[in-house]
């Protein structure tokens, strides 16, 4: 880690001054967003400082229970966030499907990725487990969030076509096929787009962080490629689980469309 | 063919007793909002009644698989459903939904003639007029050759001449092929001219005329 520049308190202060200058410009322009900028900057600072202390504690006191606890909190937070981000009210059964797909999809991807690809030891090593879980859970959360919006809106706006298909003898699966396909596409599109631009348009956050903290770019790129494949796999898996189980919650056992129950 | 006893659906429909005969043409009339569409949806099992019993061929709808039933008792909705694609796509989609073998273009053209639509199979269906869409949707239902045709105001977007032409063709088709037709219509004239049986719904109560 030779030659790495550790940021001291004055350098950090300089970073904040940058935001202060931004605020002055925003104010002069008459854009009333200064409150949001201040609050989100402070919130980000507090969250990261706390996370930093927690990570230091976890790394120094390795224990499987601590790792499991950390993952559980991340999963609960992610699932709750998907519920909160949804603009429409979600049915109880759809909420259950969201939670189930998130847990099954992210945990199986995570286990494969950590134990087969990276081969960490011990299996609960928080230095690898926690940041990688964060990336996999975070990206899957974004994917399902998009999927939830698309699926609920799709069935709502195309209710007439779905019912017309049922009237002709379609199964619920056939009647919602185009909506389900569309949902899957739009949910994984951001992940695919970010892979396309990677390394040319921008350097991904994880790799940037590793390089800045002194890791060789070759090592950083190796991890980045592996983690991107892990993210793509996890996003696809969670979204597939979500749509394949989710469309069914809009129908009852008589294959009748029930919206808003 | 269909028999309803003490059927209630929300506050919308209340049927004490109703029998709909096999191989006949039954018309349903009544003011708008009286529950005509709701009655067809019950027969297609798109909704289920809150109390009472509906039977199809002496079998309670409760024990018949919904998808199976809808493949024999096909419903044409009041507002025609057009899926993205050509007229051909829209005709074939019914066969795909009910998992029946697809038919040749000759067959499809024949059906277009039956519903009196002068268009090419590969024309885009989404650009058609309301009345033309209605006829595509009607053609799609006929291609399925179901035992029972449930038609919800199939001629509402057509001018009177075309309306008579098409209903006449539908009635002939039904009689020649020993099918059963249950049709909601806004026109008492149509009902009296073509039907064997007329059902009138008044303030949620069903009467056989
Ligand atoms: N899903 C529903 N929920 C509540 N009310 C409905 C629903 N569908 C129809 N209605 C109401 O039931 C009544 C009958 O509707 P409908 O069967 O469509 O009448 P019609 O086809 O005779 O014009 C109307 O007052 C309508 O507003
Ligand atoms: Mg109606």
Residue B78 CA: nearest ligand 1 atom is: 21
CB A129 within 8 A of CB A68: no
- Which ligand 1 atom is nearest residue B36's CA? 22
| pLDDT at A250 (0 to 100) | 96
Q: Structure pTM?
A: 0.86
Contacts of B66 in chain A (CB under 8 A): 254-256
pLDDT at A209: 83
**Minimal C-alpha gap between A246 and chain B (Å):** 20
Q: What is the average pLDDT score of chain A?
A: 90
**pLDDT per residue as tens digits for the range A110-130:** 999 998 988 988 999 998 899
- Ligand 1 centroid to residue B36 C-alpha, Å: 8
The tokens of A162 are what? 């779905």
Domains and CATH numbers, chain B: 2-83+145-208 (3.40.50.300)
Give me ligand 1 centre to Cα B33, in Å.
6
Look at residues A193, A157, A195, A198 and name the one whose alpha carbon lies nearest to residue A178. Answer: A157
For A218-229, how does the pLDDT look when each residue is reduced to its tens digit (9 = 90+)? 888 888 888 889
pLDDT reported for residue A3: 61
**B32 CA: nearest ligand 1 atom:** 23
| A168 part of contact set with chain B, CB < 8 Å | yes
Which ligand sits closest to the CA of B152? 2
Segment A14-42 shows an average pLDDT of 85
Query: What secondary structure does DSSP assign to B157-205, as a single string?
Result: TS-HHHHHHHHHHHHHHHHHTT-EEEEE-S-HHHHHHH-SEEEEEETTE
Element (DSSP H or E) covering residue A103: helix A92-111
Residue A258, min C-alpha distance to chain B (Å): 9
Can you tell me whether residue B114 is helix, strand or coil?
A: helix
* Banded model confidence at residue A243, pLDDT cuts 50, 70, 90: very high
pLDDT of res. A261: 44
- Residue A2 pLDDT exceeds 70: no
pLDDT digit string, tens, across residues A140-186: 999 999 999 999 999 999 999 999 999 999 999 999 999 999 999 99
pLDDT score recorded for residue A11: 87
Tokens 């796509």 belong to B89
Of chain A residues 108-167, which have a CB less than 8 A from chain B? 160-161, 163-167
Q: Is B46 exposed, middle or buried (0-12, 13-18, 19+ CB in 10 A)?
A: buried
A169/B93 CB distance under 8 A: no
Suggest the residue from B40, B77, B90, B142 to mutate for an interface test with chain A (most A CBs closer than 10 A).
B77
How many whole angstroms separate alpha carbon A172 and alpha carbon A166? 7
Bridge partners of B148, per DSSP, are B73, B180
For ligand 1, which residues put their CB under 6 angstroms from it?
B 12, 30, 32-38
- Contact B98/A160, CB-based, under 8 Å? no
Is-contact A158 A150, C-beta < 8 A? no
Q: Phi and psi of A140, rounded to 5°?
A: -65, -35
- Could you give the strand order of the β-sheet that contains B180-184, starting from the edge strand earlier in sequence? B59-60, B51-56, B2-9, B13-20, B205-208, B197-202, B25-30, B180-184, B148-152, B73-76
Q: What string of pLDDT tens digits covers the 209 residues of chain B?
A: 999 999 999 989 998 899 999 999 999 999 989 999 999 999 999 999 999 999 999 999 999 999 999 999 999 999 999 999 999 999 999 999 999 999 999 999 999 999 999 999 999 999 999 999 999 999 999 999 999 999 999 988 888 888 998 999 999 999 999 999 999 998 889 999 999 999 998 876 676 66
Sort A107 into a burial class: Cβ within 10 Å, 0-12 / 13-18 / 19+.
middle
pLDDT tens readout for residues A51-103:
999 999 999 999 999 999 999 999 999 999 999 988 888 999 999 999 999 99
Instruction: Provide the shortest C-alpha distance from residue A196 to chain B (in Å).
Output: 30
> At what angle are helices A159-167 and A126-157 packed, to 10 degrees?
70
- Inter-chain touch A174–B97, beta carbons under 8 Å: yes
DSSP per-residue codes, B75-111: EE-SSPP--SSBHHHHHHHHHHHTTPPP--HHHHHHH
What is the Å distance from ligand 1's center to B77 Cα? 13
Q: What is the ipTM of this complex?
A: 0.94
Domain locations in chain A as residue ranges: 1-61, 64-250
Say whether A175 and B48 touch across the interface (CB within 8 A): no
Question: Which tens digits make up the pLDDT trace of A185-225?
Answer: 999 998 888 888 887 777 777 888 888 888 888 888 888 88
Whether A165 sits inside 8 A of B70 (CB atoms) is no
Choice from B27, B31, B38 to test ligand 1 binding pocket (greatest atom count within 8 A of CB): B38
Given a cut of 80, whether residue A251 has pLDDT beyond it is yes
C-beta atoms of B96 and A174 within 8 A: yes
- Binning pLDDT at 50, 70 and 90, where does residue A22 land? confident
pLDDT of residue A1: 44
Which region, left, alpha or beta, applies to residue B9 given φ > 0 means left and ψ of -120 to 50 means alpha?
Answer: beta
Identify the sign of the CA torsion B53, B59, B65, B66: negative
What pLDDT is attached to residue A30? 78
């Amino acid at each position: 880690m030779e030659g790495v520049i550790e940021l001291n308190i004055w350098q950090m202060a300089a970073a904040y001054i940058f935001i202060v200058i931004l605020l002055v410009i925003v104010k002069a322009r008459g854009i009333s967003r200064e409150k949001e900028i201040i609050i989100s900057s402070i919130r980000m600072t507090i969250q990261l400082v706390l996370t930093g202390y927690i990570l230091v504690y976890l790394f120094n006191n390795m224990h499987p229970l601590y790792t499991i606890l950390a993952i559980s909190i991340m999963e609960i937070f992610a699932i709750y966030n998907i519920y909160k981000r949804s603009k429409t009210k979600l049915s109880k059964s759809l909420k259950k499907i969201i939670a189930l797909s998130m847990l099954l999809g992210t945990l199986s991807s995570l286990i494969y990725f950590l134990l087969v690809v990276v081969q960490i030891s011990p299996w609960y090593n928080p230095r690898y487990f926690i940041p990688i879980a964060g990336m996999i859970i975070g990206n899957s959360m974004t994917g399902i969030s998009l999927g939830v919006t698309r699926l609920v809106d799709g069935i709502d706006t195309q209710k007439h076509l779905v019912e017309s298909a049922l009237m002709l003898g379609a199964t619920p699966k056939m009647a919602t096929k185009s909506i389900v396909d569309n949902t899957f596409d739009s949910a994984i599109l951001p992940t695919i787009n970010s892979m396309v631009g990677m390394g040319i348009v921008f350097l991904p956050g994880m790799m940037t962080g590793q390089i800045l903290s002194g890791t060789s770019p070759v090592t950083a790129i190796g991890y980045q490629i592996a983690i991107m494949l892990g993210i793509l796999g996890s996003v696809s898996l969670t979204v597939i689980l979500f749509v394949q189980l989710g469309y069914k919650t809009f129908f009852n056992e008589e294959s009748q469309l029930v919206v808003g129950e | 063919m269909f028999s309803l006893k003490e059927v209630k659906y929300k506050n919308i429909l209340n049927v004490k007793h109703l029998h709909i005969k096999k191989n006949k043409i039954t018309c349903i009339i009544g003011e708008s909002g009286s529950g005509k569409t709701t009655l067809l949806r019950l027969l297609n099992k798109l909704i289920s009644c809150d109390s009472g019993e509906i039977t199809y061929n002496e079998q309670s709808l409760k024990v018949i698989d919904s998808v199976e039933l809808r493949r024999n008792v096909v419903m044409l909705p009041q507002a025609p459903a057009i899926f993205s694609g050509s007229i051909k796509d829209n005709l074939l989609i019914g066969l795909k939904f009910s998992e029946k073998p697809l038919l040749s273009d000759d067959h499809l053209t024949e059906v277009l003639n039956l519903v009196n639509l002068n268009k090419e199979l590969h024309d885009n269906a989404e650009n058609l007029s309301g009345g033309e869409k209605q006829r595509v949707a009607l053609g799609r239902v006929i291609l399925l050759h179901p035992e029972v045709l449930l038609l919800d105001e199939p001629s509402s977007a057509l001018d009177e001449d075309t309306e008579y032409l098409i209903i006449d063709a539908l009635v002939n088709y039904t009689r020649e092929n020993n099918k059963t037709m249950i049709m909601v219509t806004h026109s008492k004239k149509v009902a009296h001219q073509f039907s064997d049986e007329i059902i009138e719904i008044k303030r949620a109560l069903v009467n056989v005329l």
